[in-house]
Amino acid sequence: MAIKPRVPVREQPAEERIHNFNSVPYGYSEEEAIAEAQRCIQCPNPTCEAGCPVNIKIKDMIRLIKEGKFAESYLLTKQDNAFPACTGRVCPQEDQCEGVCILVKTGQPINIGKLEAFVADWGREHNVTEETVSASKEKKVAVVGSGPAGLACAAELRKFGYQVTMFETLHKPGGVLVYGIPNFRLPKEIVQHEIDYLEEIGVDIQLNMTVGQNISFDELRENYDAIFLGTGAGAPQFMGIEGEKLNGVYSANEFLIRANLMKSYLFPEWDTPISVGKKVGVVGAGNVAMDAARTALRLGADEVYIIYRRTMEFSPARNEEIEHAREEGIIFKELVNPVRFVGNDQGWVTGVELIKMELSEQDSSGRPRPVPVEGSEFIMELDTVIEALGTVPNRLFLSRAPGLKTDRKGVILADDNRMTSIEGVFGGGDATSGAATVIKALGEGKRAAESIRDYLEGK
């Protein structure tokens, strides 16, 4: 049987979208979703499901879409994943479910992510709801952090019947889903809808609550039967080179928080100014770098450069994000690395000194090691620099959680059951693995909830 080509997803034209923060993909229509679902050959042993960190029943989800049973497909998906509208948009499906789809051999795997996003959007637009959970158990669990890991853990624990209180430092829940990923990639009303579901099933979300400041870690241990730490990895990493403290040199964290959570793109309607010059350089080439570069373009930059020490074939960013950046005119400057940032007498950055690189043997990342070319330094004029070099856990919380063991980078140590060095205290997501993907964090939060249930039932 001949397999039809993939149904393309309609998108905003690049020349339009660079002037707004609206979603780039329009998503599938009902007819398009059914046509894409019809391509699925319904494997007896679906490899796509084995590739999903939260174990969505992908085969049945697609079958129900094919049959036009959108509500049933949505409810089925929600059984395993409380946040399908988010994961359908930001998961690296090409490395997970789609990457192991049997049709990948044809170069046309099923567009699982866009089908998941479609059915989640359909469920939201048609007010499809699940049965809410009643608090049938007296035991209480505290969830620290409302990022993907904490959200997934809280959702599962409520399904198990436990009383759950979530503590979030910021004024909005969602973690990286709200402060890190731009609206054009993940609309915030979609995130809010999926978080509203948690409150509907009885999760008590306490905002502006910093554990270790507003409430002590010891108080949590005294008042709750178990604790989940989903504190993430929100502290930026820096190169540690000359000129890094010049005005106009941002970490990607600060830049994206100001743009996303604090809505600087709506200035002056929102009182969050942000300085973006005409020439912007983004150091790094992961998804966060693409987000920062594409955001800078929308904030008014004329030229935006990705500055990367390898070639883009070794970038950790999703192919879709790289392609969107290229379409929007982002310029990729490969095989160069900053040596120092250059500034003027007023303390503002005016450029970066770069050194050319060449690729050598593989390093621990499995990619070729970039090696400086002696004597190849040159100056690149820039008005703004954004460092997107990855993140590590915030040590402020760790310093206020005595007895909690971490590695040298501050990553919380947890065993296979997600238990930390303190009995009854579990962890997951970026806090225990370092910066990773949203779906990995969701998977770890879900598994931690199961371990917490086993722990509480065994007490």
Q: What does the chain come to in residues?
A: 459
Query: Which pLDDT score is estimated for 69?
Result: 98
Q: Say how many C-beta atoms besides its own lie within 10 A of residue 185's C-beta.
A: 22
Q: In Å, what is the CA distance from 385 to each residue of 9, 75, 251, 343, 378?
A: 33, 44, 8, 11, 16
Contacts of 321 (CB under 8 A, 6+ apart): 185, 287, 290, 291
For residue 27, the number of C-alpha atoms closer than 13 Å in the C-beta half-sphere is 19
Contact by Cβ (8 Å): 373, 357: yes
pLDDT in tens, the chain (459 residues): 567 899 999 999 999 999 999 999 999 999 999 999 999 999 999 999 988 888 899 999 999 999 999 999 999 999 999 999 999 999 988 888 999 999 988 889 999 999 999 999 999 999 998 877 766 799 999 999 999 999 999 999 999 999 999 999 999 999 999 999 999 999 999 999 999 999 999 999 999 999 999 999 999 999 999 999 999 988 899 999 999 999 999 999 999 999 988 887 777 777 788 889 999 999 999 999 999 999 999 999 999 999 999 999 999 999 999 999 999 999 999 999 999 999 999 999 999 999 999 999 988 888 999 999 999 999 999 999 999 999 888 888 888 898 999 998 899 999 999 999 999 999 999 999 887 889 999 999 999 999 999 999 986
Residue 141 CA to residue 162 CA, distance in Å, equals: 7
Of 422, 413, 393, give the one whose Cα is nearest residue 142. Answer: 422
Of 379, 391, 184, give the one whose Cα is nearest residue 284. Answer: 391
Residue 232 CA to residue 56 CA, distance in Å, equals: 24
Query: Which pLDDT score is estimated for 124?
Result: 95
Nearest 5°: CA angle at 449, between 444 and 454? 125
Query: Which pLDDT score is estimated for 270?
Result: 78
Q: Tell me the whole-structure pTM to 2 decimals.
A: 0.93
Specify the 3-state DSSP secondary structure of 27.
Answer: coil
Of 202, 84, 238, give the one whose Cα is nearest residue 148. Answer: 84
Contact by Cβ (8 Å): 369, 362: yes
| Chain position carrying tokens 């990855």 | 390
Q: In what order do the strands lie in the sheet with 140-144?
A: 204-206, 163-167, 140-144, 226-229, 425-427
Domains of the chain: 14-125 (1.10.1060.10), 140-234+392-457 (3.50.50.60), 239-389 (3.50.50.60)
Contact by Cβ (8 Å): 329, 340: no
